[in-house]
Amino acid sequence: MILHYQKIPDLFLLERSPRVFIFSLSLNKHLKTFFFIVFLSGQSFANNISVEDTLIIHPISFSTPSPEGWVAQYKATIDFPDEEWSWRKILMVQTLKCDPSTKGDKYDCGEWDYIWDALLHVPKEDTTEVFKLGSFVTPYGKRLVMGGVSGWQWTYDITDYAPLLKGKRDLHIGNNQELLDLKFYFISGTPYRNQMSVKNIYPLGEYDGHYGYTYKYGDISNNNVLNTKQIDLDPLASGFSIKAIISGHGHEGPKYCCEWVNKSHSYVINGLKEFTWNVWKDCGNNPIYPQGGTWPYDRAGWCPGTKVDEYVFELTDLVNPGQTISIDYEIEKMIDQKETKGIYRMSHQLFSFGPPNFKRNLEIVDIVNPSSRDQYSRINPTLSSPRVIVKNIGSEEVRRIKFIYGLESGKRAIFRWRGSIKFLEKLTIELPRNDWSGLNVDQRFFVQAFSLNGREDESPADNILFTQVRIPRTLPSEFLIKLTTNNLDRAKQNTYEIRDYYGNIFYSEYQFLDTTAYDIKIGLDPGLYQFIFSDANEDGIDRLWWQQKDSVGVSGKLGLYNLNQSAIKEFTPDFGQEIRMDFIVGPIP
């Protein structure tokens, strides 16, 4: 038995206090460690001492050999905890990186965008049942820089799968396009409500060697599959929800179904269409760029280099415990018979819960800005008004929140928010601009929900969050924007503006000509500014892809330069929807 000190992982979920010491106790020969995380703080905005235990399971690392074979997945047998622990949150964190040792093809990151599922195999009598924990689409590997040696990180909240994450389980995940590092974080504490069971409503579909488990669009549209199911609800449960993970693929029919078509999907509960949503994702501001291929174009529920969108619908107010209910899944009908062979990958799951464990409980889910997290790199670094995502995980409607926020060792601000956030609702809240006096490269920023509805949060472990502040670039008071437009009548799609944090626009232009060079001189007083260059078609100013199948036309150029023509910042022309860069003239105000 060895007791040793380990540096805290670079993971946002652990950044919940100013001082963190971690002691780990090795349990066995597997990559499983129990961490005793002690949070120490002398600040008035946090408890003086709180203790939170986190079990970290690390079944796959960058040193795990890349799988061999066509779209081969990593396969791991994981010993999840058997003990009856109470887990406040369970996270699955995947980190991908490009590396010559990958076995997909000749590129360090695979050339093409491939989809894979995280499939948990759960014993059931003399066979196994497969549950989808999430889906992911790899980025196009050509020209790709994805976080360098550290890779790029995605986090899945799989807390509601707690009933399945017990004992020995087989997991299939990832593929051989990139190297994978996978960790599970079991954070002890009381969950917002106890998870009782998880059920597949429908099978995952027929397995093929390319897309995995799929359904043909024609079969769904014609109601040949995914018909009405009768389900007996647990009489001991108090809450229920449905989760859908759906993505469209294939290039069938006049609009290339089902990757490139926006279709509506519905759940019919007890004969009534209760939930309708569109499976469609905006890809123009994908944070992983530039990529090869058609990465900026919107798709059915996914983008190259993103998780597949997940949709969760609360059933609790529509049903009763112990009731037998009918659930039917419907999809928008085909517009052309050629769409028949289009493909959808999907899972439909029913979750059962106990009653809420807290009356007043607000979770700070994430800090959008300022942030150093990969997924927010398009809008950071910035010193604009902070934005925070919150979720009400207490039964009482949240009508008032007292926020305390600021630099860890700087001035604090107080903001009293008023509105309405019902149970399980999420909301992004913009806070008034922070006082950045004394900001340096080592500073951290925190947000705490100090009180709810004028009273204390009953579970303070998740109502404070820290993030690293990255300082925007400093520019001279005079500089040049140098732009060379592309052709094929695309220059008119471009606009730019320079504005301050109060919304005042100092420079802008929207009438550019094809294949024309512009030198635009900029002069600004000291202050904080944003430079935004947009493309209305969301495909940048690079050579054109899509209908011609190969790149055509000419590539534009965009950069910021000193008056002596030396480069300050040169932007990639393959930026998708927009370039957004905050900058400082003079000292930080």
Q: Is the pLDDT of residue 7 over 70?
A: no
The pLDDT of residue 377 is 95
The answer to whether 242 and 267 have CB atoms below 8 angstroms apart is yes
The pLDDT of residue 147 is 82
User: What is the rounded distance in angstroms from the CA atom of residue 506 to the CA atom of residue 588?
Assistant: 19
The pLDDT of residue 83 is 78
Confidence of residue 400 (pLDDT cuts 50, 70, 90): very high
User: What is the rounded distance in angstroms from the CA atom of residue 491 to the CA atom of residue 421?
Assistant: 43
Percent of the chain scored above 90 by pLDDT?
Answer: 80
| Closest C-alpha among 35, 73, 62 to residue 51 | 35
The pLDDT of residue 509 is 96
Q: How far apart are the first and last CA of the chain?
A: 53
The answer to whether 119 and 108 have CB atoms below 8 angstroms apart is no
| Mean pLDDT on 545-558 | 73
Confidence of residue 50 (pLDDT cuts 50, 70, 90): very low
Both structure tokens of 16: 């919940």
Domain ranges across the chain: 1-191, 192-357, 362-471, 474-585
| Mean pLDDT on 26-47 | 35
| Range in 40-44, 182-186, 243-247 with the lowest mean pLDDT | 40-44
Q: pLDDT (tens digit, 9 = 90+) per residue, 258-298?
A: 999 999 999 999 999 999 999 999 999 999 999 988 999 99
Q: Is the pLDDT of residue 140 over 60?
A: yes
User: What is the rounded distance in angstroms from the CA atom of residue 576 to the CA atom of residue 589?
Assistant: 32
Q: pLDDT (tens digit, 9 = 90+) per residue, 318-341?
A: 999 999 999 999 999 999 999 999
| Range in 23-32, 188-197, 371-380 with the lowest mean pLDDT | 23-32
Please give the single-letter amino acid code of residue 96: L
The pLDDT of residue 29 is 34
User: What is the rounded distance in angstroms from the CA atom of residue 531 to the CA atom of residue 581?
Assistant: 5
Confidence of residue 552 (pLDDT cuts 50, 70, 90): confident
The pLDDT of residue 550 is 54
Both structure tokens of 325: 């209910």
Residue with tokens 């059931």: 124
Percent of the chain scored above 70 by pLDDT?
Answer: 90
Q: Is the pLDDT of residue 41 over 50?
A: no
Candidate CATH numbers 3.40.50.10950, 1.20.1240.10, 2.60.40.10, 3.90.550.10; the one for domain 362-471: 2.60.40.10
Mean pLDDT of the chain: 89
The answer to whether 524 and 516 have CB atoms below 8 angstroms apart is no
The pLDDT of residue 14 is 34
| Mean pLDDT on 459-488 | 95
Both structure tokens of 413: 């601000």
- What is 192-357's CATH topology? Jelly Rolls (2.60.120)
Q: pLDDT (tens digit, 9 = 90+) per residue, 205-218?
A: 998 877 789 999 99
- What is 1-191's CATH topology? Jelly Rolls (2.60.120)
pTM over 0.75: yes
The pLDDT of residue 17 is 35
Confidence of residue 52 (pLDDT cuts 50, 70, 90): low
User: Given this chain, do its domains 1-191 and 192-357 carry the same CATH topology?
Assistant: yes
CA contacts within 13 A on the Cβ side of 17? 23
Q: Is the pLDDT of residue 70 over 90?
A: no
The answer to whether 191 and 89 have CB atoms below 8 angstroms apart is yes
User: What is the rounded distance in angstroms from the CA atom of residue 452 to the CA atom of residue 359?
Assistant: 10
The pLDDT of residue 545 is 65
